[in-house]
Structure 1
Amino acid sequence: MTQGHIRPLGARTRANWIRLRTMILLRWVAITGQFIAITIAPLVYGLQLELGLCYLAIGVSVIGNLVATFVFPENKRLTEQENLAMVLFDLLQLAFLLFLTGGLHNPFALLMLGPVTISATALSLRSTLLMCAIAIIAVSFLAVSHLPLTTETGEVLRIPQVFVFGHWIALLIGIVFTSAYSRRVTSEIHSMGDALAATQMALAREQKLTDLGGVVAAAAHELGTPLATIKLTSTELLGDLADLPELAEDAALIRDQADRCRDILRDMGRSGKDDLHLRHAPLEAVVFEAAEPHLYRDKQVHFNHHSDDEARPNPPTILRKPEIIHGLRNLIQNGVDFADHNVWIETDWTDKDVSVRIMDDGRGYPAHILGRIGDPFMRRGSALRAKGERPEYEGMGLGLFIAKTLLERSGATLRFANGFDERHKGQATGAVVEVSWPRSTIAARDGDDPVPLGQNRRIPV
C-alpha cells in the first residue's frame, strides 16, 4: 500500500520508553506491602519467621531503590536489558521471601504473577519468555522446598498436599495465561496506536501537499506582474544601450532570466491559484484525481459514472478533502496491485447518497481475512502460508486501515466483499469495496443551502 514503508515499533523500542521513576515507584509500593506483612505477621498472628533474612531481602530492595533514585536522573529511560534486570530482581526477591515464609502454603504466592505480567506488557517476547521460564522454575522449587510457617506453640501451618499441588498447577497456568493474554492485548493496542499515527502522517502529508500547491500557485500568479515589468524594462534598456555593448549584454541577461523565472513559475503553478473553486470539484474529477497515479501501470482502469436518479443526471460537486482523495487512492492502489488485468471504478449518486465502488478481476480477498479487513497489520494463517495462497497479502492491512480510517473520518461507510457483476460482460470481479457517503456530508453546492464559492483570497507568502 501507499504507506507500506511504515512499520510498527518493536517491543525493544517500546521498552526503552519506560522511565526509571515509574519502576522505582512500583517497587516502593511492593516494599511497603512486604514490610507491613512481615512486621504484622509475628505480632498479630504469632508466626515465627526468619525476620533477619526477611528484612535483609527487603533492605536490598530499599538500597537498590535509593541508589537508583540518587544516582540516575528522574527522566532516565531504561533500556530493554535494564528493565529486564529490574523485573527479574523483583521476581527473585519475592521468591526468596516466599521461601522464608512457607512457599506455596503462603497465600501471597499469587504475587509471583506480577513481575511476569509487567514483562509481558512492557518487554520483548524474548524477555517475556525468559521471565516465564524463571517464574515457572521458582514456583516449582517453592512447591517442594521452603521454610515452614510455625506458630509460637511450634505448630506448623500447612495446607493439604493436594491443595499445594493444585496451587502449583494454578500458578503455572496463571503465569502462561496471564503472560499470553497481557501480551496479546498490549500488542493489539500498540498496533492500533501505530496505525493511527501512520494515518495522521498520511493525512498531514496530503494536507501539506495541497497547501504547498496553493502557495506555489499563488506565488506564480502574484509574481507574474513584477516579472513582466522587469522584462519590459530590460527590453527597453536593451534598445537604449545599443551603443554600449557591455551594458546591453547585462540588460539582455536580465531579460533572459526574467523569462526563465516566468517559465519556472508557470510550470509550478499549473494547478491554478488556491481559490475556493479548487476546494470543490465534481465527483468524477475527484475520483479521477485519486486514481491518476495508477492509470499508467500495467492494468486497465475503467470509469463508469451514472445516476439512479433521473432528476439529477450530472454528478454532484463535492468537497475536495485530502482524506477523501488519499483514502480512495489507497483503495484504488490495492485494486490495481491485486487485479489480473482490469479495475473498474464506478460512481453513483442519488438524492440522498453518493457512492464509489472499486472492483478488480483478481482472486478477491482471502476468506479468512474478509471479516477483519481494516484492522492494522494483519497476518496470514499458517494454513494458507503452507499452500502459498495469495502471497501478496503477507503483511497487508495498514494501507487499508489508513484508507478506511480517513474515509470514515469524512463521513463514509465502507463495505468489503468478493463479488460477481453481470454488467461486466459476465466477468467475475474479485475484490469489491464500496464507499458511500450521505450526500449532505460531502456535497459542496447542492440543495437549498449551497456552499458559496465567494471571492478568491490572496494567500500570504
Structure 2
Amino acid sequence: MTNTDLSVLKGRQRGNWIRLRTIILLRWVAIVGQLAALVVSQQIYRLDLPMGACLMVVGVAVIGNLLSLFIFPENKRLSETENLLMVLFDLLQLGMLLYLTGGLNNPFSILIIGPVMVSASALSLRSTVFMGLTAILMVSLLSQFHVPLRTEQGFIMRIPDIFVFGAWASIVIAVVFLSVYSRRVAVEMHAMSDALQATQIALAREQKLTDLGGVVAAAAHELGTPLATIKLTSAELMEDFADRPDLRDDAALIRDQADRCRDILRSMGRAGKDDLHMRSAPLSALIEEAAEPHTARGKQIHFLVAEANDESAGPQPTVYRRPEIIHGLRNLIQNAVDFAAANVWIESEWSADRVTLRIMDDGPGYPVDLIGRIGDPFVRRRRTPDQGTPRPGYEGMGLGLFIAKTLLERAGAELSFANGIDPGHARAGQSAQCGAIVELTWPRHALDADPGDRALGPNQQITG
C-alpha cells in the first residue's frame, strides 16, 4: 500500500465529505425551531420580544439556505473552508438571536455548543479550536451585553448573577469537554474505518494472488499432457517428413490436441479454475509460503516443529490455503523480520484439538508502554531523538499488525503478544529468542482440510 493510499485512508481530506444538502437540511430544522420558540414565547408566555429584529436574524438564515439551493447543485460536497464558514455562520446567527432574547438568561443559550460539536466531529483540529474559541468569546460577551427579556407589563426577567456565571461556566466547560470528547471519538471511528478498509483491500489482493496461483497451477497441470503430445508428434513429423502416408493421422492428432489446448485456455481465461493441488497444503508448507517474501532480506528464518506430547495428535495437519491466513502470517513475519537483529523463529505444534504457532525474533521486543495496545490501528509512539527510526520506510502506525490480527481472528485464531527472555539469561552458544513473541492458537477443526477435498479430480471453476 502506497503512501498516497495511506493518506486517503487516514482521512486527511475528510472535511469535504459533508454534502451541502445535509447542512441545508439541518439549518431548516434549526430555523423551524427558532420560529417556534419565538411564537411560543410571545403568544403563550407573553414576552415582549423585538420580534422584527428576531425575524430579520432568522430571515438571514432562510435567505442563505435559499441561495445555496439555487446556486449550488444538491450533491455538492463542501471543502474544509466552506464547511467552517457554514458552521461559523450558524454559530453567529444563533449568537445574534440570543443577544436579542436575553443572552445567558435565555435557557436556549446551551445550543451554542451545537456548532462546535459539528466542527469537532467533521472538521480539522484547527477549525475545531477556532470554533471553540469563538463560542467561548461569544458566551462571554452575551453574559455582559444583551437585550433584556421583558414581559408585556414591562418587567425585566433575569436570573441572579451567580446563575449567569454558572451558565457561562457550564457552557464553557461543555464546549471544551464535549468538543474534545467528540473529536476523540470521531478520530477513533475514522481510524477504525480506515483500518478495516485497508484490511478489505489487503484480503482482496491476497485472494486475487491465491486465485492466480491456482490458475497457473491448473494451466501447468491441464496443459501438460496435450503439450507433451504435440511435442512428441512434432518430433515424429520431423523424422518422417511429409511424404509418409501415416503423417495424415499424426496431423489429425496434432489438430485435436491443439483444439483441446484452445478449449482449456478459453475456459481458464474467463474465470480461472481452482486447482485441487493448491486448495490445501501441509501446515509447514503454508508457513513457508507466508514467509517466502522475507527469506532474502538478510535475516535468518528458522522453521521449528515442537514435539507433540499427545500421542493422539497424529501427523502434521493438512490445512486450507486461506488467503486471510497467508496474508496475516506474512504481516506478522514481516514485522518480526523488520525488527530482528539476525534471527526469526517460527515454531509450530499441534495436538488433537489445537494448532499453535509462535513467531519470535531476537530484536528489541515490543515497547512496554504499547504492548497492551498492539493490534489497534494507527498507533503512534513518540521517539526520543537518540532512538532514531528502527524501521526506515514505515510510518509505525500499527496498521500492518491490525490487518494481521483482524484477518487471523476472522479465521478463528486467538493472538497474544509478549516479549521474550532477557538475552543475558540465554545458555552459552544458544541464540536468545529475546525479542517480540506472537502466539497464535486455532481450534484444530478451524484449520483442518476436509479429507474429501484432498481427492484429485476435475478442477472446478472459480466462483464468486
Which TM-score applies when normalising by structure 2? 0.85
Contact 2:10 2:194 in 1 (8 A): no
Aligned partners of 1:335 and 1:12: how far apart in 2?
Answer: 30
The alpha-carbon distance between structure 1 residues 219 and 321, as it changes in their structure 2 partners (threshold 3 A), is same
Segment drifting more, 274-283 vs 173-182? 274-283
Offset at 1:387? 6.0
Offset at 1:223? 4.4
Contact 1:3 1:399 in 2 (8 A): no
- Whether 1:348 and 2:312 are equivalent positions in the alignment is no
Aligned partners of 1:443 and 1:40: how far apart in 2?
Answer: 71
Aligned partners of 2:411 and 2:240: how far apart in 1?
Answer: 61
Structure 1 residue aligned with 2:197: 197
Structure 1 residue aligned with 2:384: 385
Structure 2 residue aligned with 1:182: 182
Aligned partners of 2:69 and 2:164: how far apart in 1?
Answer: 39
In the TM superposition, 1:154-165 aligns within 5 A as 154-165=154-165
Structure 1 residue aligned with 2:447: 442
Aligned partners of 1:459 and 1:404: how far apart in 2?
Answer: 31
Aligned partners of 1:132 and 1:290: how far apart in 2?
Answer: 50
Counterpart residue type for residue 190 of structure 1: H
Contact 2:302 2:344 in 1 (8 A): yes
Gaps of 5+ in 1: 244-257, 266-272
Structure 1 residue aligned with 2:375: 374
For residues 162-187 of structure 1, the C-alpha deviation after alignment (integer angstroms, 9 at most, x for no partner) is 21112112111111111111010000
Structure 2 residue aligned with 1:125: 125
Segment drifting more, 353-362 vs 421-430? 421-430
Counterpart residue type for residue 330 of structure 1: N
In the TM superposition, 1:269-284 aligns within 5 A as 274-284=274-284
For residues 13-34 of structure 1, the C-alpha deviation after alignment (integer angstroms, 9 at most, x for no partner) is 2221211111111111100100
Identity level (%):
61
For residues 24-59 of structure 1, the C-alpha deviation after alignment (integer angstroms, 9 at most, x for no partner) is 111111001000111111111121111111001111
Aligned partners of 1:168 and 1:335: how far apart in 2?
Answer: 54
Structure 1 residue aligned with 2:397: 396
Contact 1:12 1:123 in 2 (8 A): no
Offset at 1:294? 1.0
Offset at 1:460? 5.3
In the TM superposition, 1:25-40 aligns within 5 A as 25-40=25-40
Segment drifting more, 212-221 vs 145-154? 212-221
Structure 2 residue aligned with 1:115: 115
Aligned partners of 1:216 and 1:295: how far apart in 2?
Answer: 23
Aligned partners of 1:213 and 1:167: how far apart in 2?
Answer: 68
Contact 1:366 1:390 in 2 (8 A): no
What RMSD over aligned residues (CA atoms) do the two structures have, in Å? 3.1
Segment drifting more, 64-73 vs 346-355? 64-73
Segment drifting more, 155-164 vs 310-319? 310-319
Offset at 1:451? 3.9
For residues 120-145 of structure 1, the C-alpha deviation after alignment (integer angstroms, 9 at most, x for no partner) is 10111121122112111111111111
Aligned partners of 1:321 and 1:189: how far apart in 2?
Answer: 29
Offset at 1:86? 1.0
The alpha-carbon distance between structure 1 residues 2 and 358, as it changes in their structure 2 partners (threshold 3 A), is farther
Offset at 1:284? 0.9
For residues 224-259 of structure 1, the C-alpha deviation after alignment (integer angstroms, 9 at most, x for no partner) is 56655666676677779899xxxxxxxxxxxxxx9x
Contact 1:20 1:74 in 2 (8 A): yes
Aligned partners of 2:93 and 2:10: how far apart in 1?
Answer: 29
The alpha-carbon distance between structure 1 residues 4 and 80, as it changes in their structure 2 partners (threshold 3 A), is closer
Gaps of 5+ in 2: 244-257, 266-272
Aligned partners of 1:197 and 1:165: how far apart in 2?
Answer: 47
Structure 1 SS opposite 2:331: helix
Offset at 1:7? 4.0
The alpha-carbon distance between structure 1 residues 290 and 76, as it changes in their structure 2 partners (threshold 3 A), is same
Which TM-score applies when normalising by structure 1? 0.86
Aligned partners of 1:150 and 1:91: how far apart in 2?
Answer: 24
Structure 1 residue aligned with 2:413: 412
Aligned partners of 2:346 and 2:373: how far apart in 1?
Answer: 23
Aligned partners of 1:20 and 1:288: how far apart in 2?
Answer: 53
Structure 1 SS opposite 2:6: coil
How many corresponding residue pairs?
434
Aligned partners of 1:234 and 1:159: how far apart in 2?
Answer: 105
Contact 1:11 1:122 in 2 (8 A): no
Counterpart residue type for residue 445 of structure 2: S
In the TM superposition, 1:319-334 aligns within 5 A as 319-334=320-335
Structure 2 residue aligned with 1:62: 62
Aligned partners of 2:7 and 2:390: how far apart in 1?
Answer: 19
Counterpart residue type for residue 438 of structure 2: V
Counterpart residue type for residue 385 of structure 1: T
Contact 2:99 2:145 in 1 (8 A): yes
Segment drifting more, 422-431 vs 43-52? 422-431
Contact 1:340 1:362 in 2 (8 A): yes
- Whether 1:453 and 2:454 are equivalent positions in the alignment is yes
Contact 1:275 1:456 in 2 (8 A): no
Aligned partners of 2:229 and 2:352: how far apart in 1?
Answer: 52
Offset at 1:453? 2.2
The alpha-carbon distance between structure 1 residues 91 and 205, as it changes in their structure 2 partners (threshold 3 A), is same
The alpha-carbon distance between structure 1 residues 239 and 303, as it changes in their structure 2 partners (threshold 3 A), is closer
The alpha-carbon distance between structure 1 residues 275 and 363, as it changes in their structure 2 partners (threshold 3 A), is same
Aligned partners of 1:38 and 1:71: how far apart in 2?
Answer: 30
Offset at 1:111? 0.3
